[in-house]
Structure 1
């Protein structure tokens, strides 16, 4: 369709009637096929000429208005604030340029499908800043730009409030590249956020399906749950504070449930803690007694250092007094024996001096002996040097003897070589030998090549023979399989798919490799329980279903899939399914019980008539919906068919016919597809495949013939190989002899040619040997000189050694003299000490006693110090623990208590401790910790109970405000809803479903379309699609008088209605929407019945379209066309 610009005509009805040919219009370009939207009211009509275009008749005041400035309305209807006064479109979807002026009440937009009715709805949505997601169509705004254009413009004029000076004009530019939008309000560029704020200020809710219901959202509105419907209803007709109250009530109830749950958990935990605390008390008492004993033990053990310190101090004082007395006695005795001891000491000093002299002289003797030993070692070294010279001379003499022998040998070799040089020259032609050798080798290679070819041919025959043998084995096995159960199954599968048969055979041989059992195709694992239902059940299956292999885990599925598609197997026609759930989990809640099925003439579900392993049945439920397909052997009456439709059963089978039912939820329409049922082709037993056996037998006989033929060919080739091998052997012998003869002659020839060189080398050796004789004599003379020098050195060291021996004798004599004198002095000291032994003994006794006392005093000091340090540590630890009881105890230890008595007490307490065993050493710590937890939980429980009271008070406060207003609101909606139904001879009511949980509060709509019925809840199971459509539109109409929104949009809500319901609904809609103070309403519909109800306040917007639209639309008038039509009918009637 070629793009066009619209014309806008602003004239009264009288002007149009008076002069239709003089319309004031903007010229437009012609289009191949034109579309025009025509508006008609009681007093005026308008025929804009755009393609497609929207226009409206308005007063003369509009003529000459600057585009983009607010419109001043002067028609009978009064627009509510926020109502749509004017809409202008450019390059939007199907519209190149269009502008229309809706009325203040009901606006019917009519026109054939595809003319752009829903595009008007899209323009309202996007032009008011809403998301395209609310349309249920394209997700990106750029998709709404007309094809071939870069951008689109939407201009919507909203009615101002009474205290405002001008209307609001929202202009939207949609940019195709980047899917972005730009906005203006009253010619001032603004943000998307400001547009949304302006729209929200007029209570316009594009995302509320109760206010704005596009064509693609009709099904979504029909699918609203009662809970969602309550939310949308409040948004549409209630104040914002009611929504806020409802949300707050939901949140408070959630908070109350959360806190109540926490309170119950805390109370339960508190009760458990108190029980455990009571059970732990006896153990804790035993542990406290044990701890007290341990504390007493610790005090007794810590008391020992204090007693030890006290005893050590007392012992130190005693030793101090004893030392004073012993010192006095020792000093007196020492002064008494001093003259006698002085003489003994002098003799003793002399003995010690002589002992030192003896020691020094012994060192001198040892030094002289060491010097003599060193000289003797040097004599031995020079003697070894002389022996070495003798050995070197011997070596030179032996080398001279060898030289003489080599000289004689070289002379003999020279004579022999000179004789051989005089012999005749040897003749040798290598080229001739090589030619003969290559000729024989070529003959041998030719024979070997022939043999290799024959061997390759024989090997190829062997490969063919092995392949044929394998085929024979497989054919024999296949023939044997005809008589085995497994073989029959494989053959049965192979009749339908050889790949599946190969796959199933591999699975049977490798079942141990899977996590769970893998089941074969239904063709061999399934059967029909009752033969009467065979044809019906068989009709559910296709070949792919019948040949499906069932795995029970994802891991087994992957293993099978990888194996069958591997390079080894390459099986392309194998179908695998996974059945991980049980049959009960797969079926879930059945659509109908067996009794319910029987009540409508059905015998049961197809799955109930199939006998198979449970995993295979579960797979069939997913694959062919066997648990959702009913079966019967009888024909179905019309009444039974209607009942089946209402039960929601998607498909069922009779003995001869298959029925599949399709429901369009958005329109409530159903359609049924039927097909005949043929004789069973899968569940057929007892058929023997004799043709298959015959084919295998013929194939086996053909393989035997081929194998015998191969054996004959191989035998002929073997004989030829033997013949060629017998021909090659003599040639190899001839070649070996010729090569040996060549090597011998070549060696002799080479040796003869090398004789001059050998003779020259031998003569050089002779000259070298003759020269070395003089060198040997010179070397011997040098060695003899070295030997003479070594003899002189040896003599010098022998003389020095003799002198050192004399020095040793002198030192030995001096040592003997000093030793004799020391012995005499020692004898004198001994004699004197013998005579004065009693005096010395008494003195030593006193000295010993004094030393013992000093040692005891020192030990007492050390013991006291150690005990003191331990006492300090013990007191410091007690002070840090603030253990005043222990400090007082240590300070008041009785003087009568000793370490022994303390140890006895310790043993007694330890004996008591052995009789008191604690099963839980951490009982006290656990008891105290649990007591803290009990206190904390008690505090938290009290706090939670207080908070729950606060929440309950808040809920009560909000409920007293929200619930009465909600009840009043729903009561008003119910009255309007009931009145609408009464007008069409039916009944309906709306109520609030109330629950303790505010999340579950919902709208309940009850309707009755027949006299003998009671009011029933509106849902998809009880009412037909048309009845639900009527109920939906009546509900929306019931909101009209309560609407806070300035306008409503409903697009093609009459889909699925029969003409009677559509006429009744339209009449009620006109009555309600055209009331004087109601809000604006847009009804979009592609079809229209004859003689519908009309009201002066309604406006009809007609989109005119067709192949016969004139190219020049400037002078086109729908009114004139209708008059021409009436005139033609009148002429025809005359």
Structure 2
């Protein structure tokens, strides 16, 4: 017989020279997609030629050390493109070629599903890979070469005998079949066995999620990135908003600086224009000639000397006025005395004289009106001086903070505002977290109420574990919503029971776990609509109810009872008719006899002889007493072997439900206690969070107080600055009023006014004297002396009044003359300077050169400026220039402010443009995160809880304690963790599984039980474990072996799980089950040639062959 492995050019020959045996036919229906069916070796490690066949359940590979057991593990890793680090055996592929051989080859046959493969490759690619819809397997071959010039030529790949150029198709197939050789839960080599125990919590989570499904892992990884991106965007938005606020503050400050710079620059340009105009005026005056300058100088000197003499004369007249006043006062006293004596005796017209005297006094009073106006303005001047001094005193005593302090306060206010925003964000986050915790608390309290009331409820799903309850309830609710309420049926354990509790233990063994906990579809439409959701999303087994009737039993019930049986197992099961039909058909209960008494040897021999027309056994399984019997007929010699095992009490299918109720009550109490602990933990966390919130609120209160204090300082400063500014404006107003009053005083002190006053006084005096003489002429000579005396007195008085008025006028004029004197003195100096410049030829040439450099635009601007100055003289222009320079000194030019303003404006523009995009990205990430977050958390939490329940149950079976804990899922995705806790004594406290804490055997037990607990949820097609049992003691090894067999083996198609366990030895009298396969490797120099004697292929050595 020839078996093709590598294509037309490479063939591996399996020859049976006697032609007496043939390969055992493979039942592909019992394999799952991705299961390994066979491995064929040629010149690999210790093998010249070899082939391994694998069952869909547990496969044991046994052999002595060095016999080539681990070659299977290495071959799987090599062909399926695994990293050499997974096996830790060699650094190069050619090291796996057998010694003294140039090349070797490995072929692995995997169970294929065209629907799965069609999703990976296009039709053209499938055709090029020689993959057809009818193929039950896909055969992958890797041929290794020891000698090759290039490393890429050291191996070739073949798919279904067709050579492929690259290994990309292999990688796609491996990924499509969910094969993960780098995952310790799927591929655990001897060299890496301890790595699993040393995984940290985060690595264990990643490994578990990959085992469940790469889609689940990718979703977790994707959501972790989305969450990280969302948090990053939130932080960036906060930072950008803070930068924007600071930039706006700085922009306002810089705009004021730029305005000041503009005033400074404009003032500089004006100063330059005034300076140019001064040069132009000087040049123009020099150009008109030096004579004018000399004339102006002489004129100024003459005016100065005249004013100087006038001032000296007035100062000298002050002394003369004082002496004359004293003399006139004496004469007036004398004349008054003489006049009184003469008038009293001789003169009767005194009234007339008094009348004229009164008129003269009125005229003199009118003259005094000039002085009263002058004194009024002088009084106003004094009032304004006093007011200005008072304001200056207030300004000097005014206390105001520095402008730098004011700017610092504003910066502090911005900083406090940013801190308050951050604390507000933390407060909101903590508040949301507390809300979430309280929601969890309410959910937990509701769950307790639900559990407390569960025993009195009528819901059949209450018979299930909490995890199974949730998943089945979700499935049935979804079916009800989509209108398939009657076509999607609950699990058998929830709706079936025995007619008599004596048969309940039989049913718990006869009905497989997969069919006990499965959803039954009554119609194909229901399966098409709900199948993917229930099997993929919820991880539940599903079966489609066959529309054909239940097959007939091999013999009638009467004949069976004559044999001593109570009936078939199907006769003692009642409940939902459709679910009952599915269970009976899938588990072949219609051909499984049961009886309450044990079988004796006579009955066993009788059952061995019961065969049908084709020579096949009628009954393969029988339940009797407390045992289950299995009958297997060999295809080689026709011998029938019988195996039996004791039946343990089961929890399902009981009619009275006493065990169910007791177990459920116990589980309910445990669940309530567990939930109460969760509530206590949540309450503790709520208290902790509330304390944190109180601390944040205290910080906010402190920041609020600091902010209010700074705001008060800022307001106080702004009020003080306004008062300070108002004082300066008031001072300027008073100074202006003072200037106006001074001008009025100067007007009444003018020399023309004084001349007018003197003329009026002179005219009045002459007029009064003449009038007095005219009146006195007709008076009798007796009164002449008296009249003369009175007249002399009146005249002297008028003279005295005139002197006093003149002295007052002179005093006012003295101040005016002194100011005019100083002004003339300055003009003399300027005209002298100008005259010297005019006479200096160098100055003239310099000015000429400067003026000639002016452009037409400069001349036009200077003409415009000159038109606004009247008179246009050197003195006036120089005075304006000095004023501009003084104003310039009060300003400051900041060179960097304009560039900095442009930078800040650009920054604000960029931030304003970025913020909406960032907010939109944040909203998108938040909505995406919110839409996907709940589903993944629910899936992970449900799955890990189920793993933990299974793990805890398995650990109880070995007399130890263990559980799997999941971290708080409210924390960021990247911080999620899974922790395995174990205790190998019932009274010991559980600890985290660790290579540093636990022994090798304890690590092996924990690892195996975790892998078995994970089996129900993983989509991995197979699990390979190398010598995991070597560190265990005999008791643990026996228990682990029994658990592994029961959990992985099933006689039904499509059930069980494919495990490949490599071990050098096994204990005696271990528990074995149907569907389990042992590959025992015999190797050595004295091995006989099987090709020459096919009879050496006995039942134990060659299960893949069958005799004709």
So what's the TM-score if we normalise by structure 2? Answer: 0.42
Tell which structure's C-alpha radius of gyration is larger.
Answer: 1
So what's the TM-score if we normalise by structure 1? Answer: 0.41
